[in-house]
Amino acid sequence: MKGRLLVLSAFLVISSGSHQVFNSQQTLNWSAHKGNAKAQYQLANRYWQDKNRTAAHYWWQRSAKQKYSPAIESLIRAFPKANDDWLKLAVAAGDPAAKRQVAMTELTDNNISIGQWQHRWQSADEAWLKQKFALLERYQKNDNCDISIKVIAANQSAKKRYLDFLSAVKNSPFTTSNWCIGWALDEELSCTIGDERGRASCRSDKVADRTVILADKGIASADSRTLTLTPDSSEKVIQHELGHWLGFADEYAMSESLARKFCNGHYEHESLNIIVSGQAQYYSSAQVQDIYNNLPWKNEIPSWKEIAQQEGEKWRLGSSESRDIGLFKADTCNAISDKQAWRPVNVRTAMEQHNTGLWPELYLKLLRKHHINNCRVRRLYRECYLSQDKHRTKCCQKPDERT
């Protein structure tokens, strides 16, 4: 009798436990079908644990459409092939990281114009997006443009490269607050690979004072009016190329064709950082003084004797390595035998090796002086001009007066 009672008691306990489990599952199912987002998420989790991917997908998706973030995160993790759909759900749910990710993807979407992109994300409360819109606002056209630049691309998928260019300009050591930079599409843009270095060469019908062309291949390059950038052009490469526009010459060995032009004085770029002499081994004191008097950085060197070493009655060009500023050999003209290039510092600057990112304070000082002198020339004629198009603009301010 006692044995029968024990068996019956055990059966009732087991039945009671099973009934509680059934009720818990039943309640979860009932809540999920009623539309409770959390219950739908939990039910999906149970199906996922039971390796029922189809049911898990269904209930996570129903929960996600109610903007339940854990369900969206589970879909992104478990079904990555449909991430575009899940990210849109996350954006609708107000997820900042998702907003940034979708906005970044749309920057390379050829079907979305930059105007559409701006309209869609202008009010988004996300730090990265705010930073991009601040860039666009900083360089939009105004009445005080010192330099007006048009960035030209073959299609809308280059929008990210446009913003990368704006960022490189802003992060440069140059004064760029009065630069105006706009975007233009040229579906007829044509680019080829030219010269022995593989530089990109492009043709566009778009006309501007200064032009940046976003080529799809080749090596970046610059002339007096056009920068040609490629997908591999990093921020430091862009700043190196901008340096050409502002008056700095390459300090690495130019190709022979470029060296013959530049080192013989036939170049469009100004040269604040490089002077060129012959390859004579010795110079007279008068010749050294003449070179000294024509140095762009003359005011930084107290005496002409600091740019040469005396050997008997003759002088050998070149400053002592102990000097911070003087006359030091550069590799610019190495490709031709009868010229020697010289620079004011004995360090690897960004104009020799762009990835150093080094812009000596002297270079920036020379640039400021050059900028002010240009403004004074313009004031003599009472008008300032940016290019051959004769666009009138307010005359330059001194760098220290700028915001």
Q: Write the pLDDT tens digit of every residue in 147-172.
A: 899 999 999 999 999 999 999 999 99
- Higher-scoring residue by pLDDT: 347, 63: 347
Q: What radius of gyration, in Å, describes the C-alpha atoms of the chain?
A: 33
**pLDDT value at position 268?**
66
Where is 328: in which H helix or E strand?
Answer: strand 328-330
Helix axes of 96-106 and 83-92: crossing angle, nearest 10 degrees: 130
Instruction: Judge whether residue 7 has pLDDT over 50.
Output: no
Rounded CA-CA distance 121/133 in Å is: 9
- The pLDDT confidence band at residue 376, using thresholds 50, 70 and 90, is low
- The pLDDT confidence band at residue 22, using thresholds 50, 70 and 90, is low
* Cα Dmax for the chain: 131
Overall average pLDDT of the 192-207 stretch: 79
Rounded CA-CA distance 220/226 in Å is: 11
- The pLDDT confidence band at residue 364, using thresholds 50, 70 and 90, is very high
- Higher-scoring residue by pLDDT: 291, 378: 291
**pLDDT value at position 319?**
96
The rounded mean pLDDT for the chain is 84
Percentage of the chain modeled with pLDDT above 90 = 51
* Distance set, CA 362 to CA 118, 138, 174 (Å): 40, 27, 13
Overall average pLDDT of the 263-273 stretch: 82
Rounded CA-CA distance 73/196 in Å is: 51
CATH 1.25.40.10 positions along the chain are 19-106
What is the arrangement of strands in the sheet containing 275-278, beginning at the earlier edge strand? 275-278, 339-343, 328-330
128 contacts: CB under 8 Å, gap ≥ 6: 100, 103, 104
The answer to whether the CB of 178 falls within 8 A of the CB of 196 is: no
- Higher-scoring residue by pLDDT: 236, 198: 236
When the candidates are 1.25.40.10, 1.10.3720.10, 3.20.20.70, 3.40.630.30, the CATH number that belongs to 19-106 is 1.25.40.10
Instruction: Judge whether residue 92 has pLDDT over 90.
Output: no
pTM for the structure as a whole? 0.76
101 contacts: CB under 8 Å, gap ≥ 6: 87
**pLDDT value at position 267?**
73
Instruction: Judge whether residue 68 has pLDDT over 70.
Output: yes
Nearest to 246 by CA among 217, 268, 262, 270: 270
**pLDDT value at position 195?**
67
Q: Is 315 helix (H, G, I), strand (E, B) or coil?
A: strand
Instruction: Judge whether residue 10 has pLDDT over 80.
Output: no
CB-side neighbour CA atoms (13 Å) of 14:
6
Instruction: Judge whether residue 393 has pLDDT over 50.
Output: no
